[in-house]
Chains A and B, each alone.
Chain A
Amino acid sequence: MSQVLHPIEKKIIKSLMESESSTPEKLVESTKLSIDQVRRGMEWLKLKGLAEVKEIEKITLKLGKNGLDAKNNGLPERKLVNNIQGEPKSFAEVQNLLKSDFNAAIANAKKNDWIQIEKGENSTKISLKGIALQSPEEKLIDFFGIDEKMLNDIEDTEALASLKKRPDFISQNITKLKTISLSEKAKNIDFEVSSEAIDVEAKVPQTHAARIHPLKETINEIREIFVSLGFSEVSGNLAQPSFWNFDALFTPQDHPAREMQDTFYIKDIKAGKFASSQQIRSVSRSHKLGWGYDWNISEAQRMALRTHTTCVTIKHLADYKPDEARIFSLGRVFRNEKVSYKHLAEFNQVEGVVIGNNVTLRDLMGLQEEFYRRIGLTKIKFWPTFFPYTEPSLQSMVYNDRLGKWIELFGMGIFRPEVTKPLGISKPVLAWGGGIERIAMLKYGIDDVREFYNNNLNWLRSATKCQ
């Protein structure tokens, strides 16, 4: 029979040929392999039918805290006997002496037939019956001493059972022991004849490649797609004055979305100069006109963690006023939400913007479809929806085969004139974007968005794409 063996297996077999049966620990010594290698080798040999691996339980016992105390100071019943050695004593006297050991002492002394109890008129007397010979329990305690004993070495199992019933007298330790011996098949292998060939079928330990985080991989992929579609990246701060996050986007100052329960505001910090006075004046006027209230600058100065990347794109457009451009911004955004399998307090968002003379809603749909096509999503449809700063607004629905349903992905729309006009932006602006984690979830087949931020190494080392 030709059998290719791994060097590890050869070493183990060689050692087993010298001693009939062995343990992993002994094999480590005799083969100079590591414990991991020995365990692996044993597993391979077992699978190949070359070795028999048995698991046995090894039970060892030793005296516990109270057992050790009894070894040094005697069992309660011995203390009792010592006490009434000279003359019988009353129940009360003995009880006083032995305290909590009293009940155990009486019961066991009676069992050993060491004492007799006489009920008198006034008190009950306890007296010695004869010579109190060493009891089986005492013998066993002596046998233990301070050592650990194998269960098999203990002959008087009755005494052991009795000591085990007493709290903390015996402590027991069970260890599982693997033994290995060669099978008949292995005994017939001739090592001298075996070639230098290696076992090409043997399992190998897993190698962990250092890698980019799966979420980052998706982010990078999305960024590349935007660049390839002609978009240039703009960036901005995560902490933004409310002005750019809300006011510039025509969100009225008393709008529920601006309340603390949805937005993270930063404690005790207000923005200094956050926009040109022209920008501030015209945004203020647009709110007064559109919503009919007196706009308050101090509300616009409150610093918030941006709730969308739109604050970055709108500021870029307002500051540079390009006639034609494709820009995008990508990064962290924040919502003061309870974290759950579908909501995070902090996540990534991307937003693309096209500004130009002749851009249309149909172009926006086309860009969207092209974007999805490039990340591998082909079944797409569009539904109307509402966003406070775009008009018209659409949302894209994408069919996911694994989930078997349509899911909502990016939203899109054309910036409202109430947003663009006050900021001096005269051309139509198409905008579209959304959360990146949702796309990463589709790619990695993940149903709990928190997974990305758990940084479980096992997952980071093994995560693979499914789409």
Chain B
Amino acid sequence: MPVVQLYLNRLQKLVGKKSNKNKILSKIPFLGLDIEEQTNEYLRVEYSPNRPDYATDFGIALGLQGLFGIKTGMPKLSIKKGNYNLRVDSSVKKVRPYITSIIAKNGTLDDETIRQLITLQEDLHFGIGRRRKKASIGIHDLEKIEFPIKYTTVSKNHKFIPLDSSQEIPLSEILEKTEVGKEYGSILNNSPKVPIILDAKENTISFPPIINSALTTVSSNTSNLLIEVTATDKNAAEDSLAVVAITLQAAGFQLRSVKISGANNSSPLLKPRKIILNSDLVNNILGLNLSTTMIASSLRKSRIDATAKKNKIICIIPRYRFDIFGTMDLVEEVALGYGIENLKSTLPPSISVGEKNDITKAIDSLSLIMIGLGYTEVVNSSLVSNQIQNELTNRSNSDVIQVVESKSLEHTILRDAIIPGILENLSKNIHEQYPQKLFETGIVFSKGNPIQEDSHLAGISAHNDANFSEIKSILQSLLKIGFNIDSETKTSSHPIFSEGKTANILVNEKIVGILGEIDSKVIGNFKIREEVKVVGFEIKLSGLIFD
């Protein structure tokens, strides 16, 4: 989850005179923000990826003003008509068809604001922009740009000075050699012509979605901005623009429209949406009995315009709240505005009788018997390493089920047996007192339709006098006491077990498991002391004790 750093003094100024730091601190969690770290000066809070408007303190201040009742209802975007033209060339259709834009004037940017805007931008890139694929945003110094500007395509020989560079670089080189080029270049699908934004003097403003030009870099001296969003999805572009616009307006900028034309592009309207909410839905879901006026006022505290009309509430949702899909989202907004802390819990009587499933019951009872037989339970991962599962147990399993791109070498394949994990447990406990008698129950995997999952139980006994009869006796008692199952053993061989001291476990002439003395080479591989003998068994419970 993304994190934003909030300076308390700054935040309090933004929220307004009627607030104080303590009130702010106690309300922040009720916006759905998690306080990660707190000092006297600042807070670090985690916000949900569906609320990018909380990436800056401007957006959070809008939310707090609502909860405090300082300002309620929808924060309206005030966009005056500007004299700025953006023309779109039809060649962009094939590679990145949409652009939208707005101007923000007469604001001030300090370093903190710039830092937060960059965070907002990255957050939008990651979330709604789907790592810039769907939408990417550029923020530019307006003074460096000559209008009209155009969004078009160029060949990769085109050169310009990209951000944080001092010399002209061809686009092909940006794609091949720079970090951003390598990371985001694939979005352009090897298109021979790539998108570019040029101004009236043919200066390059941006090479979307890769990098902006050095020319239009924003600094703390910048007071007028051009914001552009290029996209493969027009909605995603305007949603992103709406978040940036409301944030800049809250930061004190005045918004001006950009006239966009050409290739199915148009000036963004950023209009709010209307949804009609039924008060019954609200009260049924929340378990309350709120009047429509109370519901409307709660919504306004959540910064949504709402007016009560009979048993309905007419809601106007600002464009930047694209996390709201429908009425159920508005129910949540009512709960937030009403105050989660004001909801009293109720315990509904149960109309049902609870029950464990049969597998759990059977495994519970087998586990109890194993404990009675003196075996201590261990738990291991079912996603394991090939080294422990196969190499150390002298097995070569050609049918391993692998996961893709695991972050950890210890978790790369799904286990097909439990015993290797228990041997690893013995290996880590060679300094502990013997006898060591361990068991584990769990799922093992094999290929088949598409993946077969079976419950197994394995038991291992390790001490100087451990022998075949001991473990056979344990296995037979377990099945007999637990489920009145008679089992027998027949000579077999298996790479984990010693030749001549290995047997299949049979129930009604069907093989259900394996039992024997662990091979001395395997014991050596696990660095268990030579004088310790290890015996064990593993049985498949699925099909034997439950289906």
Q: Which residues of A contact B (CB under 8 A)?
A: 208, 210-213, 215-216, 220, 223, 226-235, 237-239, 254, 256, 260-261, 264-272, 290, 292-293, 303, 305, 324-326, 332, 334, 336-339, 345-346, 354, 356, 358-363, 365-370, 381-386, 388, 391-394, 408, 414, 416-418, 428, 452-458, 460-461
**Given A223-B360, A384-B332, CB of A266 within 8 Å of CB of B443:** no
In the complex, what residues of B have CB within 8 A of residue A416's CB? 325, 328
State whether B346 touches A256 (Cβ < 8 A).
Answer: no
State whether B376 touches A461 (Cβ < 8 A).
Answer: yes
List the A residue with the shortest CB-CB distance to B400.
A267
State whether A384 touches B340 (Cβ < 8 A).
Answer: yes
List the A residue with the shortest CB-CB distance to B372.
A210
In the complex, what residues of A have CB within 8 A of residue B380's CB? 453, 455
State whether B379 touches A216 (Cβ < 8 A).
Answer: yes
Picked from B134, B336, B344, the residue with its CB within 8 Å of the CB of A384 is: B336
Q: Does B331 contact A (CB under 8 A)?
A: yes
State whether B428 touches A361 (Cβ < 8 A).
Answer: no
In the complex, what residues of B have CB within 8 A of residue A305's CB? 383, 403, 414
Q: Which of B98-106, B445-453, B525-533 is found at the contact surface with chain A? A: B445-453
Q: Does B16 contact A (CB under 8 A)?
A: no
A369 to B347, CA, bound (A): 9
State whether B356 touches A338 (Cβ < 8 A).
Answer: no
State whether A383 touches B340 (Cβ < 8 A).
Answer: yes
List the B residue with the shortest CB-CB distance to A322.
B352
Within 8 A of A (CB), among B319-367: 325-326, 328-329, 331-332, 335-336, 340-341, 343-348, 350-357, 359-360, 364, 367
In the complex, what residues of A have CB within 8 A of residue B288's CB? 362
Q: What are 12 A-B contacts with C-beta separation under 8 Å?
A: A212-B371, A226-B354, A232-B354, A264-B411, A326-B350, A326-B352, A356-B351, A361-B335, A362-B287, A365-B345, A382-B343, A386-B48
Picked from A210, A408, A456, the residue with its CB within 8 Å of the CB of B437 is: A210
Top 5 closest A-B pairs, CB basis? A360-B287, A230-B350, A386-B48, A392-B332, A365-B345
A368 to B235, CA, bound (A): 39
In the complex, what residues of A have CB within 8 A of residue B354's CB? 226-232, 326
In the complex, what residues of A have CB within 8 A of residue B331's CB? 391-392
In the complex, what residues of A have CB within 8 A of residue B429's CB? 455-458
In the complex, what residues of B have CB within 8 A of residue A210's CB? 370-376, 437
In the complex, what residues of A have CB within 8 A of residue B404's CB? 260, 264-267
In the complex, what residues of A have CB within 8 A of residue B406's CB? 264, 336, 345
State whether A359 touches B433 (Cβ < 8 A).
Answer: no
In the complex, what residues of B have CB within 8 A of residue A216's CB? 367, 377, 379
List the A residue with the shortest CB-CB distance to B383.
A346
How would you classify the secondary structure of chain B's contact residues: helix, strand, loop or mixed? loop
Total CB contacts across the A-B interface at under 8 A: 260
Picked from A254, A370, A408, A452, the residue with its CB within 8 Å of the CB of B379 is: A452
State whether A338 touches B407 (Cβ < 8 A).
Answer: yes
**Given A230-B354, A235-B357, A305-B383, CB of A358 within 8 Å of CB of B284:** yes
User: By CB atoms of chain B within 10 A, which of A213, A270, A414 has the most?
Assistant: A213
State whether A362 touches B346 (Cβ < 8 A).
Answer: yes
A293 to B232, CA, bound (A): 11
A435 to B138, CA, bound (A): 40
Q: Which of B29-37, B69-77, B208-216, B217-225 is found at the contact surface with chain A? A: B29-37
Picked from B328, B401, B428, the residue with its CB within 8 Å of the CB of A266 is: B401
Picked from A211, A382, A418, the residue with its CB within 8 Å of the CB of B340 is: A382
In the complex, what residues of B have CB within 8 A of residue A339's CB? 408, 410-411
CB distance from A62 to the nearest CB of B (A): 27
State whether B379 touches A346 (Cβ < 8 A).
Answer: no
Q: Does B509 contact A (CB under 8 A)?
A: no
State whether A366 touches B346 (Cβ < 8 A).
Answer: yes
A232 to B355, CA, bound (A): 4
State whether B332 touches A393 (Cβ < 8 A).
Answer: yes
A363 to B348, CA, bound (A): 6
Q: Does B468 contact A (CB under 8 A)?
A: no
Picked from B352, B353, B382, B447, the residue with its CB within 8 Å of the CB of A238 is: B382
Q: Does B50 contact A (CB under 8 A)?
A: yes
Picked from A230, A394, A458, the residue with its CB within 8 Å of the CB of B353 is: A230
In the complex, what residues of A have CB within 8 A of residue B32's CB? 383-386
Known: A392-B332, A456-B428. 9 other contacts (CB 8 A): A266-B414, A270-B450, A324-B352, A336-B405, A361-B335, A384-B30, A455-B379, A460-B376, A461-B432
